[in-house]
């Protein structure tokens, strides 16, 4: 990890009047402030069109951030919050912003520009920032970093163009493509769990693993007016291309040569390159898509929409470690519960005293990484029931983060914002990583058009046809 700079930092949030700023970014920065993780002299500067001044922006945050505003040190944090009102439509607006930031800083500072704006504004914003000199940095001087949210492109072509265009204006070391899933504790702990524990690392391959399934389940639907955006994206582009593939890459990658960001990201890209596309696969045996009942009546949704709100895929990683092991990926809206998990299911021994590997009900050994909401790890195995006879029962060892450490895990945005400020890119997505994830997603989307769109009931687990993605002895989907 890169050592933090001793210089103070200005965190400049474009789109500061939006929901993301009040709900996630400012609370995350406030928590980092309380923990002493922000450089001394850090300022938070909101940038938006609203005709506010510093006091007006602070009043807005006071009424929208929730619990942080009730903390005894909130006013201390708020004193370092500033606001710049500008439309950001012209080069003059950006030159004015540069002058305002210099005036607020007073001394040399690092700057983090967080683009909490529409994706189609990423490139115009960075282009104008570059022209105004806001991104210029010397070899040993103050640093300039830009954070962009997903979606980063809508397919391989658009993502490649956006990458190439942005990288003409700033370096890869300045660009932070954020996926908040990579800030979750259990996702981060995957590397420690796999490569620190000698009892698990030797088993993490095709010789012992029968199947891996990864689920990102959501209980919500099109709340908060998301129908218009979602109908142009769908589950494959909204969740599968980013969150699910990022988790898969960490679960499946080889051990990096170090914990430096380049080495970790190199190994993740290798996994995505080896992820089998759907060009040579029968889509009806490897893809199931669905749409929840009533989706077409949601505000902003086309009444004839064919957009999937649920998607599952069976694929493979064509490399030495994972050759032949199915990876089943699933995500959907309006499921009975919100949860994210990874289940690594182990093979049965080739011969056993208590039933052979062909007995499909015998699959006792699995490791489940619970990423949310109850972060933890479960280990399943069989034991003998006390008493006469040989009655075998399933058992489980559970590890729970909250119980073990007696403190809440930090919010994912808090961890990631601290990493940006410190210049650590390990948990951010590199340009070739983005392009490889889109390559695979595009191949899935091209073939899923050859599959039926199943309707499924709200608060169900999705189309029944998804069970057919499992082989006869491979089990079934997890349900939380």
In this prediction, residue 88 carries a pLDDT of: 86
Whole-angstrom distance, CA of residue 427 vs CA of residue 262: 10
CB within 8 Å of 124: residues ≥ 6 apart: none
What's the per-residue H, E or C state across 222-237?
Answer: CHHHCHHHHHCCHHHH
What's the per-residue H, E or C state across 32-71?
Answer: HHHCCCCCCCCEEEEEECCCCCHHHHHHHHHHHCCHHHHC
User: Can you give the residue ranges of every domain in the chain?
Assistant: 9-149, 182-408+430-469
- Beginning with the edge strand found earlier in the chain, give each strand of the sheet holding 209-217 in spatial order: 392-400, 376-384, 366-372, 339-346, 209-217, 326-332, 310-316, 287-292, 453-456
pLDDT in tens, 185-227: 888 889 999 999 999 999 999 999 999 999 999 999 998 888 9
Whole-angstrom distance, CA of residue 73 vs CA of residue 204: 46
DSSP state for residue 464 in the 8-state scheme: G
In this prediction, residue 389 carries a pLDDT of: 80
**Does the fold of domain 182-408+430-469 match that of domain 9-149?**
no
pLDDT tier, 58 (very low <50, low <70, confident <90, very high otherwise): very high
pLDDT in tens, 398-441: 999 888 888 777 889 999 999 999 999 999 999 999 999 999 99
In this prediction, residue 359 carries a pLDDT of: 65
pLDDT in tens, 310-365: 999 999 999 999 999 999 999 999 999 999 999 999 998 776 666 665 666 667 79
Exposed, middle or buried, 321 (CB in 10 Å: 0-12/13-18/19+)?
middle
DSSP state for residue 385 in the 8-state scheme: P
In this prediction, residue 52 carries a pLDDT of: 95
pTM of the model: 0.93
C-beta atoms surrounding 346 within 10 Å = 17
Q: Which residue has the higher pLDDT, 134 or 473?
A: 134
In this prediction, residue 382 carries a pLDDT of: 86
Direct distance between the N- and C-terminal alpha carbons of the chain, in angstroms, rounded to an integer: 34
Specify the CATH number of the domain 182-408+430-469.
3.30.360.10
Chain mean pLDDT for the chain? 92
In this prediction, residue 1 carries a pLDDT of: 45
Strand partners of residue 315: 327
Span 162-179, mean pLDDT?
96
List the catalytic residue out of 37, 60, 130, 243. Answer: 243
Q: Which fold has domain 9-149?
A: Rossmann fold (3.40.50)
Q: Note if 71 is an active site residue.
A: no
Span 290-305, mean pLDDT?
97
């Amino acid at each position: 990890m890169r050592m933090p700079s001793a210089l103070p930092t200005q965190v400049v949030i474009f789109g500061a009047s939006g929901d993301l700023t009040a709900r996630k970014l400012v609370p995350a920065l406030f928590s980092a402030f309380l923990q002493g993780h922000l450089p001394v002299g850090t300022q938070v500067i909101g940038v938006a069109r609203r005709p506010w001044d510093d006091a007006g922006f602070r009043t807005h945050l006071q009424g929208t951030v929730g619990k942080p505003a009730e903390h005894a040190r909130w006013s201390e944090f708020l004193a370092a919050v500033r606001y710049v009102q500008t439309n950001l439509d012209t080069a003059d607006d950006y030159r004015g912003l540069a002058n305002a930031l210099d005036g607020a800083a007073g001394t040399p500072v690092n700057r983090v520009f967080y683009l909490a704006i529409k994706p189609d504004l990423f490139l115009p914003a960075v282009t104008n920032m570059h022209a105004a000199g806001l991104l210029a940095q010397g070899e040993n001087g103050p640093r300039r970093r830009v954070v962009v949210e997903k979606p980063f492109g809508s397919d391989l072509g658009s993502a490649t163009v956006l990458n190439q265009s942005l990288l003409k204006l700033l370096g890869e070391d300045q660009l932070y493509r954020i996926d908040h899933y990579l800030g979750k504790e259990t996702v981060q702990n995957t590397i420690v769990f796999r490569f620190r524990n000698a009892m698990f690392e030797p088993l993490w391959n095709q010789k012992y693993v029968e199947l891996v399934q990864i689920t990102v389940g959501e209980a919500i639907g099109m709340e908060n007016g998301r129908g218009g955006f979602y109908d142009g994206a769908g589950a494959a582009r909204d969740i599968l291309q980013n969150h699910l593939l990022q988790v898969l890459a960490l679960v499946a990658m080889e051990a990096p040569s170090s914990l430096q960001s380049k080495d970790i990201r190199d190994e993740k890209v290798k996994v995505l390159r080896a992820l089998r596309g759907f060009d040579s696969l029968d889509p009806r045996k490897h893809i199931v898509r669905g749409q929840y009942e009533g989706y077409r009546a949601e505000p902003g949704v086309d009444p004839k929409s064919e957009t999937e709100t649920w998607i599952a895929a069976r694929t493979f990683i064509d490399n030495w470690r994972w050759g032949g092991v199915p990876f089943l990926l699933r995500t959907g809206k309006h499921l009975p519960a919100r949860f994210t998990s990874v289940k690594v299911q182990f093979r049965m021994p080739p011969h056993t005293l208590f039933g052979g590997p062909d007995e499909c009900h015998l699959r006792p050994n699995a490791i489940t990484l619970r990423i949310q909401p109850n972060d933890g790890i479960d280990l399943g195995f069989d034991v003998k029931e006390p008493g006469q006879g040989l009655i075998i029962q399933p058992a489980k060892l559970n590890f729970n983060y909250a119980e073990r450490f007696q403190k809440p895990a930090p919010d994912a945005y808090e961890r990631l914002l601290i990493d940006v400020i410190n210049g650590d890119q390990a948990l951010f997505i590199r340009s070739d990583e983005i392009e490889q994830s889109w390559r695979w997603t595009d191949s899935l989307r091209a073939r899923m058009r050859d599959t039926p769109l199943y309707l499924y009931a709200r608060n169900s687990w999705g189309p029944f046809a998804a069970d057919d993605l499992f082989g006869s002895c491979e089990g079934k989907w997890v349900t939380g």
